[in-house]
Amino acid sequence: MPDLHAQSWNETFRLILSKKVLALLLLGLSAGIPYFLIFGTLSLWLKEAGIDRSTISFLSWAALGYSFKFVWAPLIDQLKIPVLAKSLGRRRSWLLVSQCWVIASLLTMAFSDPQNSLWLTTVAAVSLGFAAATQDIVIDAYRIESADSSLQSMLSSAYIAGFRIGMLLGGAGALYISDWFAGDGYSPVAWTIAYACMAAAMLAGVFTTLVVAEPVSQRREVVASRGDNIRLLLGFIICAASFVLAFVFIGQHIVDAKPWLVEIFNNKALASFLVESSRLLASIAFAFILVKLAITVQLVPAAVVRRSYVDPIADFFERYGKKTIMLLALIALYRMSDIVMGVIANIFYVDVGYTKQQIASFSKFYGLFATLAGGFLGGLLAIRYGVYRVLLLGAILSALTNILFSFLATAAADSTLLMMAITADNLSGGLAMAAFVAYLSSLTSVSFTAMQYAIFSSLMTLFPKLLAGYSGMVSLAIGYEYFFYLTAAMGVPAVILVLMLQRSLPIKDDSPP
């Protein structure tokens, strides 16, 4: 393998224009488009259609697929799509199916009207959530198998850049189109055009899938019978259906206890957190019990479950031994500082005195370009100096830039200060994320690419998001200035873990020049 660290900066920059980087940019675009169309854009559409707030909140569950995609990731690793797999290959066939699924869901949403057929909008939104999460699983596996670890940082940068642009299209782009075609009041036609345009934009990903080459994977092929594959699929259906049923029906009894909890704790926010956490845990437990029962009666063979779910986890522990705990801790904590701060950022801007126009201009426009620049800078630096060095730099900068917001909290509202803080924060965030995605990619086994990376990406945001639920309460208790200092301190464990792992667990092709 050539020594990429010995290449000139000219040769390193030339990698940005390579076909693989361009392909990941377009696939990232395809992955980013649906993201806001399930979250913010859909909420605004429903609000404009006159749907009540509780129903809009209920529909946020359509995005649960992103949080639990590791549950069906083994299907992507184990199952081949009939006919398509022979002509396109395993990864490209799954990519094409997931992208067509996203387009079909978007078109169904486009031609539904929440005022008259809310059920159709709901079904299409849930379908879009699972389709988009499936596409994410396949793109991650495709990216990891497309190139060796020395190029993963650049491919990660391209994917993140494409994803951000796709998010901009699905967010601001869809809203702009809807506003352009809307008259006075609510216009279903305007939303139809907006979502149909987003479905058309997905063709960039479809075209990319059809022209790129299938990655040459060194994965261990598992020959499974059609019956085993059907049973694996059946196990997933049982798991998903039981979770949804428990969340809707059993969960309602838990929600009914909320007034009682508010009275006990005298804190509505804490009661809401306890209710939603209990609801989620009860639903997961119910799904687990039913799947366990299905395995016991051999409706789903234990050997299939072991191969699909247990073996990928066991493989990770076997390969890294005692260092596994440190790795899992780093994965869970690396983005802690960013995510906890990010949840409260927009509220902070308003409270300090910045206008919505200033927030939109700096966070969406300058922030986007800073993130893209940071991502590609992170990729280039990782190729030149090694992933660990950039991982460490990203962890330090992500923590330090939070201190800038402490200064904002004590200063008068100033657009220059806001622009500098957001630019620095997004630049460091893009750099850190590019290196971190490349690092996670290096940890996966070729035999369980989709499953292991899906677990990593879920763990990466799970703990920070849970902790971020308390950010409002903490910022009220100690004030914004000390809250941002606290989020900066949350980045210290990640810095320590990177230093420890850099010494004890070097990455292949990550040596300095």
- Categorize the per-residue pLDDT at 5 as very low, low, confident or very high, splitting at 50, 70 and 90: very low
Q: Are residues 333 and 382 in the same domain?
A: yes
Is 408 part of a structural domain of the chain?
Answer: yes
Report how far residue 134's alpha carbon sits from residue 75's, in angstroms, rounded to the nearest whole number.
10
- The three-state secondary structure class of 263 is helix
Residue whose C-alpha is closest to residue 283's, from 61, 118, 458, 468 = 61
Res 3: pLDDT:
39
Span 24-75, pLDDT tens digits:
999 999 999 998 888 677 877 887 888 776 566 556 666 667 777 877 788 7
Number of domains in the chain: 3
User: Residue 92: pLDDT above 50?
Assistant: yes
- Categorize the per-residue pLDDT at 8 as very low, low, confident or very high, splitting at 50, 70 and 90: low
CATH number at residue 176: 1.20.1250.20
Q: How far is CA 486 from the centre of its chain?
A: 25
Return the structure tokens found at 410: 């004590």
Is 5 part of a structural domain of the chain?
Answer: no
Q: Are residues 83 and 191 in the same domain?
A: yes
* Mean pLDDT of the region 319-340: 90
Domain end point (choices 155, 187, 217): 217
Higher-pLDDT residue of 43, 124: 124
Q: Are residues 234 and 328 in the same domain?
A: no
> Please, are residues 75 and 450 in contact by the beta-carbon 8 Å criterion?
no
Which of 281-290, 296-305, 327-336 has the lowest average pLDDT?
A: 296-305
User: Residue 463: pLDDT above 80?
Assistant: no
Q: How far is CA 264 from the centre of its chain?
A: 36
> Please, are residues 198 and 174 in contact by the beta-carbon 8 Å criterion?
yes
Residue whose C-alpha is closest to residue 341's, from 260, 286, 262, 422 = 422
Q: Are residues 158 and 278 in the same domain?
A: no
* Mean pLDDT of the region 372-384: 83
The CA distances from residue 408 to 348, 478, 488, in Å, are 10, 16, 14
Which of 373-377, 453-457, 508-512 has the lowest average pLDDT?
A: 508-512
What kind and span of H or E run contains 91? Answer: helix 90-110
Report how far residue 447's alpha carbon sits from residue 297's, in angstroms, rounded to the nearest whole number.
29
User: Residue 368: pLDDT above 50?
Assistant: yes
Report how far residue 15's alpha carbon sits from residue 1's, in angstroms, rounded to the nearest whole number.
16
Domain end point (choices 248, 269, 300): 300
Return the structure tokens found at 91: 């990864």
Please say whether the dihedral angle defined by the alpha carbons of residues 129, 134, 135 and 140, taken in this order, is positive or negative. Answer: positive
Q: Are residues 265 and 149 in the same domain?
A: no
- What does 439-479 look like in DSSP terms, one character per residue? HHHHHS-TTSHHHHHHHHHHHHHHHHHHHHTTHHHHHHHH-
Report how far residue 317's alpha carbon sits from residue 320's, in angstroms, rounded to the nearest whole number.
5
Res 378: pLDDT:
84
- Mean pLDDT score of the chain: 82
Is 316 part of a structural domain of the chain?
Answer: no
Q: Are residues 258 and 382 in the same domain?
A: no
Q: Are residues 36 and 159 in the same domain?
A: yes
Domain end point (choices 217, 244, 261): 217
Q: Are residues 213 and 232 in the same domain?
A: no
> Please, are residues 111 and 10 in contact by the beta-carbon 8 Å criterion?
no
Q: Are residues 268 and 385 in the same domain?
A: no
Is 135 part of a structural domain of the chain?
Answer: yes
Res 32: pLDDT:
92
- What does 19-31 look like in DSSP terms, one character per residue? HHHHHHHHHHHHH
Is 311 part of a structural domain of the chain?
Answer: no
- Categorize the per-residue pLDDT at 134 as very low, low, confident or very high, splitting at 50, 70 and 90: very high
Q: Are residues 132 and 178 in the same domain?
A: yes
User: Residue 4: pLDDT above 60?
Assistant: no
Span 227-275, pLDDT tens digits:
776 777 777 788 778 877 887 777 677 767 777 877 777 776 667 667 7
Q: Are residues 145 and 236 in the same domain?
A: no
Is 4 part of a structural domain of the chain?
Answer: no
Report how far residue 429's alpha carbon sits from residue 434's, in angstroms, rounded to the nearest whole number.
9
Is 155 part of a structural domain of the chain?
Answer: yes
Span 185-225, pLDDT tens digits:
778 899 999 999 999 999 999 999 999 998 876 555 555 56
Higher-pLDDT residue of 392, 164: 392
User: Residue 132: pLDDT above 50?
Assistant: yes
Provide the domain limits for residue 73.
17-217
Res 438: pLDDT:
84
Strands (E), 178-254: none
Q: Are residues 331 and 209 in the same domain?
A: no
User: Residue 511: pLDDT above 50?
Assistant: no
Res 215: pLDDT:
84
Is 94 part of a structural domain of the chain?
Answer: yes
